Amino acid sequence: MGVDSFDTSIGGMGGCPYCGNGRSAGHVPTEDFVDLCHEMGIETGYDLQKLIEASWIAEEVVGHPLWGHVSKAGPRPRGGEVYPVDMPFVETLDEASHFINGPAVYQGQISPWQENSALLAGG
């Protein structure tokens, strides 16, 4: 016994725009759910990167950002991957996309580590 299927949609598209004055539009984003399953060690058979790319295409088609978060920021590091030790503050979804788009997206952002490094070095 247990759950063997879930209802999700790419980017969380769907729902009823008339219920709750439009606040109930949207579903669970497939890419977020698959990332959650992978984080929990549940093999889904889905290629997360392909789901993320499908979400980007869907955003282009509908002409506005969708509700998924993994499609914006990318999956969190797992296994041997880690956050960069000197990573600055990440405050926007664009900056959070560093796992997909590289560290250039947060260039110039405030970094607490630079100041602390100077203090530790006696500067």
Q: Which of 16, 19, 62, 93 is catalytic?
A: 16
- Distance set, CA 46 to CA 13, 50, 85, 89 (Å): 18, 8, 30, 31
Say if residues 96 and 54 touch (Cβ distance below 8 Å).
Answer: no
Say if residues 109 and 89 touch (Cβ distance below 8 Å).
Answer: yes
For residue 9, the SS3 value is: strand
What value, to the nearest 5°, has the Cα angle with vertex 48 and ends 47 and 54?
95
70 vs 31: CA distance, rounded Å: 6
Give yes or no: 16 in active site: yes
Catalytically active residues, by annotation:
16
